[in-house]
Chains A and B, each alone.
Chain A
Amino acid sequence: DAKTTQPPSMDCAEGRAANLPCNHSTISGNEYVYWYRQIHSQGPQYIIHGLKNNETNEMASLIITEDRKSSTLILPHATLRDTAVYYCIVRVRRGNQFYFGTGTSLTVIP
């Protein structure tokens, strides 16, 4: 599975949109982009995934560039409870191996 690159940390003001970038320049045509987050030392939580089209659910939006080499997770109205480490993962759909990397530590500031 392709590896990903994320900034180690970001801040966001409460109520504003948080935009978390991810680079996956070696992504293959059959690989999806998944996002998970981990609050403190709890188990990671699934957020969203996509292949090439932009996706939205009740938690977030996922924007994937046309060449699929990068993506952005958008939390439209960040709250203090969104403070967490966010992981961008690229893998084949329902693939067996997950490479989480070190993620982006997002701090939402009051």
Chain B
Amino acid sequence: GAVVSQHPSWVICKSGTSVKIECRSLDFQATTMFWYRQFPKQSLMLMATSNEGSKATYEQGVEKDKFLINHASLTLSTLTVTSAHPEDSSFYICSARANDRAGQPQHFGDGTRLSIL
């Protein structure tokens, strides 16, 4: 159980393109979803936290107009990288959590490798 599906796995596109990444919880309803970015050999960096039906909470330094997050249902969240540039190339990973009870873990998707040419 607790499967999180993330698509696409790989994206290669030209500078200036907008890219949408989907994150779905397949066998549970996710109250909260998280979006991370990870550069090679570096730590996970939390970008934003989203709760179903409400606006995402962005971490300091993350541009909310550039990284649009939508959590329209309890099983789907999307991250749109608008007008992507080469410096946005990274490994983007979503995770989902069923509820806020103590001990409830986050489950990660397989990640999306984004390359902007």
Report if A and B associate in a common complex: no
